Amino acid sequence: MLPTIVLVGRPNVGKSTLFNRMTRTRDALVADLPGLTRDRHYGRGLGASRPYLVVDTGGFEPTAESGILKEMARQTLLAIDEADVIIFLVDGRDGMTPQDGVIAERLRKSQRPVLLAVNKTEGMQRAIVSAEFHELALGDPLSISSAHGEGVRDLVELALESAPPEEVEVAEVQDDRPPKVAIVGRPNVGKSTLVNALLGEERVIAFDQPGTTRDSIEIALERGGKHYTLIDTAGVRKRGKVFEAIEKFSVVKTMQAIEEANVAILVVDAQEGITEQDAHVAAYILDAGRALVVAINKWDGLKDDEREWIKREIDRKLQFLDFAKFHYISALRNKGLTELFQSVDMAYKAAMAKLPTPQLTRVLIDAIAQHQPAVSRGIRPKLRYAHQGGSNPPIVVVHGNHVDGIKDSYVRFLEGVFRKVFKLTGTPLRVQFKQGENPFAEDPDARKRGEGIVSMRRRKTEQRAELNARAREARGEAVKRPAAVPRKRASKK
């Protein structure tokens, strides 16, 4: 087991900045705003004498009795229970506050090793800045600067010395990393509730307030003997309703999570219906090429006539997701989750499928025999063979001649044929075309775009006559060129 270091402190003391410094990433959102981090955020520490895990927590308000601050404090207490070592971070520029004393008292009761780190001490006399924090009775304060990295390495090494020795485990080396599953959707549709239901514990804050989740949280999940990495993301609202800078960063993190995921679960609120924003998020997932499963949440709270209306709305507004599986679930009551993850497995398998070139080519030939591409500019495109060009999403590259004249409708026809034959359910499929080049063709003789057959032959005849005339001139023979047609001058009125 790797030692776990938990970062604890009141809001806006630099915990997320220190987390990014220790993990050498930018996974945690950082801004000059108190209460930005709300859930526990796990990362793998780098740059120390041995590997370790580091946990970023929200601003600790031990005396909070209600609201989101109470939920944040509960998440921090859960992280403290998991800790091998606690780094208590205080702000050297603000000095010691009464809240620091309350947190210190709570940490002493945890029976965990605690290191006191005085942050934001760059450019200051550290001995003077840290002197007042001796009052907390947590040992000698260590002056650091998480933004500049000053003293961070020494702090981590001291924390690892206080941690229990690492247990030697014999583990099998696995080449396949667990699939990443991103939970995405609008705010307050039940994404965090779904994550907690899948995990069987209150791992992330699920609160009846839109925008509770602000960062993308990665969580390991084992279900049915299979391993996954869940990504709980912030809700994506309409662009015109996003005013706070922090929410804009949260939307960016959600988009990044979609790009990094293998499968996306689009959560839709059945009680609010299918909105345009649901369709926008689905379109972004489709553009990113990620496998998709749609979860219609809060289904248990609808009547029969309302359910029929929702199904009609799905057919009307989400018809472009015909490749995806739709599941009607209740995350709060754990209904429909088994079937949901069966579709996740199916979508992941389809997204990572290996398509043999001979079989792809045979399917292409059968599709052409069934329906040939339409004639474009007097020439019918000729498709020769196909091979796989990538995975997640599967990409089929088709080689042929005059492929620039293939219509979009025929591209959709080929996508449907390949998806049906190879049973690629739950993932988008992309068909790309590559023009076969003739090594004997010359650019002057190439047919120009929009040029007819007669015009092309006339142009080629004139080019050959010009070449022959130049050859005779080179041999000293007399050449009679056609007289240039004089241009008509505009008459002056």
Specify binding-site residues for GTP: 9-16, 56-60, 119-122, 185-192, 232-236, 297-300
Encoding tokens for residue 392? 């997640």
3-state secondary structure of 199: helix
For CA atoms 359, 365, 369, 375, give the dihedral sign.
Answer: positive
Distance of CA 377 to the CA centre of its chain: 41
Encoding tokens for residue 339? 């079937």
Select from 17, 37, 15, 8 the least CA-distant residue to 104.
8
Q: How far is CA 478 from CA 214, 475, 483, in A?
A: 84, 9, 15
Select from 367, 449, 377 the least CA-distant residue to 411.
367
CA–CA distance, 220 with 473 (Å, rounded to integer):
80
Strands 85-91 and 52-56 turn out to be unpaired
Distance of CA 409 to the CA centre of its chain: 29
Angle at the Cα of 439 (from 436 to 440), degrees rounded to 5?
Answer: 125
Return the amino acid letter for 304. D
Encoding tokens for residue 158? 């001291």
CA–CA distance, 218 with 39 (Å, rounded to integer):
11
- DSSP 8-state class, residue 39: S
- DSSP 8-state class, residue 79: H
CA–CA distance, 348 with 432 (Å, rounded to integer):
22
Select from 185, 190, 181 the least CA-distant residue to 278.
185
3-state secondary structure of 396: strand
Return the amino acid letter for 457. R
Concatenate the DSSP letters of all residues of 408-445 into one string.
HHHHHHHHHHHHHHHT-TTS--EEEEEEPP-TT--GGG
CA–CA distance, 490 with 294 (Å, rounded to integer):
69
Q: How many residues does the chain have?
A: 493
CA–CA distance, 258 with 273 (Å, rounded to integer):
23
3-state secondary structure of 87: strand
CA–CA distance, 77 with 438 (Å, rounded to integer):
70
Return the amino acid letter for 65. E
For the annotated binding site, the residues are 9-16, 56-60, 119-122, 185-192, 232-236, 297-300
